Amino acid sequence: MSTATDPDPRAELAELARAVRAHVEWLVASGAAGTPRAERPAAPVEHAAPRVEATAAPVAAPAPPVPRPAPPVVAPAPPVATAKPTPSAPAPLPPVPSLLQEPIANGAEASASKHVALEPAERLRRLDVLAETVRACTRCALHAGRTQTVFARGTGASRLCFVGEGPGADEDAQGFPFVGKAGQLLDRMIEAMGFSRDEVYVCNIVKCRPPNNRKPEPEEMAACMPYLREQLELVAPEVIVALGATALQGLFGTTEGITRLRGRWKLYGGRVPVMPTFHPAFLLRNPPAKREVWEDLQAVLRQMGRQPPKR
């Protein structure tokens, strides 16, 4: 139930209608049309990123190396043939013929030494050079036990050469061949032939003393033979006397005994007569054999055009 203080709903509704009418009339009078638009909401404001003070750029860890692609394998170009001949390596020198394999020539015509045109002074100079070479030689095991090398003695002025086996203790100590007791006997033989000691040339198959005075091994002889070969070329003897079986083996490669071969001429290098005879050391143990040696030396003298002295 309404009271006297409650507003009259009809009066209120009438009042509201008048207010609405008055507002519409004002809108028409002011030129406005329609109902006012609702305001569009403002565009959202983009917040600026918080300012970051400039700092040193962080050092980035080095990236792992990217493997480079392998270069393409280029096949070598085929050699271009040109008209110009390619220089070739010098042809190897022909091997020095080993006298150990040299065939024994019998009765062959003597041929000239390869050094035949050399002056005597030049031959001596070359012999000195060869002796120096031998002095430093280590081509075989004998070098280890030597006191010194033993190259030769004498001048060879008589054109007569004696070839022995190798140095003994006395020769190793003094540096000259045939200076011991056997050498003294050889000197008497040389004197008996009518030559002075230094007129003849004396050398050995090997230039270093074998231990315990043993016979040189075949490989030791083979290693040393080029020296003797050059010696004989430079000395160019008219006749060679081979003293003992080892000297014969070195010069000709024969293993026949000296007893069988002594007194029978051979030819060294197809041109130099060689008389095999006993070694003086053998004569010291077998003095009766001196007679046979003297026969051999007389034959040498005849070969050289000399009259053997009467004894």
CA angle 258-264-269, nearest 5°? 95
Specify the residue, 146 or 262, whose C-beta has the smaller distance to ligand SF4: 146
Cβ neighbour number for residue 140 with a 10 Å cutoff: 18
Residue 207 near ligand SF4 by CB under 6 A:
yes
Exposed/middle/buried for 238, CB within 10 Å: 0-12, 13-18, 19+? middle
Backbone angles phi and psi of 274, in degrees to 5: -125, 130
Q: Decide if 134 contacts 151 (C-beta within 8 A).
A: yes
Specify the residue, 168 or 273, whose C-beta has the smaller distance to ligand SF4: 168
Specify the residue, 117 or 136, whose C-beta has the smaller distance to ligand SF4: 136
Residue 140 near ligand SF4 by CB under 6 A:
yes
Rounded Cα–Cα distance for residues 123 and 39 (Å): 134
Q: What is the dihedral of CA 8, 9, 10, 13, to 10 degrees?
A: 130
Rounded Cα–Cα distance for residues 33 and 35 (Å): 7
Which residue in 130, 190, 208, 251 binds ligand SF4 (CB under 6 A)? Answer: 208
What order do you get walking across the sheet with 272-277 strand by strand? 201-204, 160-164, 239-243, 272-277, 266-268
Applying CB under 6 A, which part among 194-202, 220-228, 253-261, 275-283 lies near ligand SF4?
220-228
Which residue in 161, 206, 275, 293 binds ligand SF4 (CB under 6 A)? Answer: 206
Rounded Cα–Cα distance for residues 173 and 73 (Å): 68
> Of 162, 152, 217, whose CA–CA distance to 190 is shortest?
162
Residue 139 near ligand SF4 by CB under 6 A:
yes
Least separation in angstroms between residue 250's CB and ligand SF4 is 11
Specify the residue, 186 or 223, whose C-beta has the smaller distance to ligand SF4: 223
Residue 297 near ligand SF4 by CB under 6 A:
no
Least separation in angstroms between residue 89's CB and ligand SF4 is 28
How many residues bind to ligand SF4 according to rule CB under 6 A?
14
User: Residue 262 corresponds to which tokens in the numbers above?
Assistant: 């002594």
Least separation in angstroms between residue 81's CB and ligand SF4 is 47
Applying CB under 6 A, which part among 33-41, 51-59, 70-78, 219-227 lies near ligand SF4?
219-227
Applying CB under 6 A, which part among 15-23, 96-104, 134-142, 176-184 lies near ligand SF4?
134-142
Which residue in 163, 203, 223, 299 binds ligand SF4 (CB under 6 A)? Answer: 223
Per-residue contact flags (x/-) with ligand SF4 for residues 146 to 185, judged by CB under 6 A: ---x------------------------------------
Which residue in 127, 142, 243, 299 binds ligand SF4 (CB under 6 A)? Answer: 142
Locate the DSSP E strands across 143-277.
160-164, 201-204, 239-243, 266-268, 272-277
Least separation in angstroms between residue 265's CB and ligand SF4 is 28
- The single-letter code of the amino acid at 228 is L
> Of 190, 300, 182, whose CA–CA distance to 240 is shortest?
300
Which residue in 115, 123, 126, 143 binds ligand SF4 (CB under 6 A)? Answer: 143
Residues that bind ligand SF4 (CB under 6 A): 134, 137-140, 142-143, 149, 206-208, 220, 223-224
